[in-house]
């Protein structure tokens, strides 16, 4: 605890970090808002469904509980992780913000309808269903976001494997529940990899803080 408090004092005593922290937080919030609005738009504009060679050959499984609980668990885990290492915040939030903005663009371009026997998450309430159960299909954010975090924390092996496992878990869940088309899941890895390297270029200073911290 003392080391965490010392890290906070050291970070927030540095003006550059304070600016980076504030800007990344605002950028992240903007990314979430844009992505959410794009999801609402895609849900309203959803057209017909298309055939999928994977979904057409596997039965739909009730995975809505795993899907919703898993979403909340990873959010809490990442929040706790960043709270213990403040110097990780600017780069992580900025990278996630870029991810959600890129995803919002893809969501807004094509409006596929959900697969006919898709599992619904209505049992968890209207608000939850609207935010994580819409027709924002291409590409899968539940698959891509943990994969992005795995790339960000690649040099920390335990976190790398935790986030890779989480990405694989969500990829499996959304396919079993027919929540996403197979192309949504497969494309997520390739697009997210591109987002990661773009973030490396755009946020070089934040990346330095991420790896080196704020020196006393």
pLDDT tens profile 68-103: 889 999 999 999 999 999 999 999 999 999 999 999
Is 126 a residue whose pLDDT tops 60?
no
Torsional sign, CA 178, 180, 186, 192: negative
Digit-coded pLDDT (tens) for 166-175? 999 999 999 9
Of 25 and 114, more confident: 25
Digit-coded pLDDT (tens) for 19-66? 999 999 999 999 999 998 888 888 877 777 888 999 999 998 988 888
Is 124 a residue whose pLDDT tops 70?
no
Give the position of tokens 């600017």: 90
How confident is the model at residue 163, as a pLDDT?
97
pTM of the model as a whole: 0.92
Helix 204-212 to helix 89-109 angle (10° resolution) is 140
CB 45 within 8 A of CB 111: yes
Instruction: State the chain's mean pLDDT as an integer.
Output: 89
């Amino acid at each position: 605890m003392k080391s965490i408090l010392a890290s906070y004092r050291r970070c927030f005593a540095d003006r550059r970090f304070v600016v980076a922290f504030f800007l990344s937080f605002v950028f992240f919030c903007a990314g979430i808002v844009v992505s959410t609005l794009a999801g609402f738009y895609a849900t309203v504009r959803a057209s017909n469904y298309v055939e999928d060679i994977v979904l057409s050959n596997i039965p739909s499984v009730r995975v809505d509980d795993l899907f919703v609980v898993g979403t909340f668990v990873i959010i809490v885990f990442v929040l706790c992780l960043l709270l213990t290492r403040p110097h990780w915040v600017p780069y992580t939030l900025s990278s996630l913000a870029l991810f959600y903005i890129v995803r919002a663009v893809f969501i807004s371009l094509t409006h596929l309808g959900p697969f006919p026997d898709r599992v619904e998450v209505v049992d968890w309430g209207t608000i939850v269903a609207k935010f994580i159960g819409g027709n924002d299909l291409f590409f899968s954010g539940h698959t891509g976001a943990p994969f992005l975090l795995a790339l960000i924390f690649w040099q920390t092996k335990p976190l790398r494997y935790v986030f890779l496992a989480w990405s694989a878990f969500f990829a499996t869940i959304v396919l079993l529940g027919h929540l996403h088309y197979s192309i949504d899941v497969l494309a997520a890895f390739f697009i997210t990899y591109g987002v990661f390297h773009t973030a490396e270029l755009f946020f070089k200073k934040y990346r330095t803080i991420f790896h080196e911290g704020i020196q006393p």
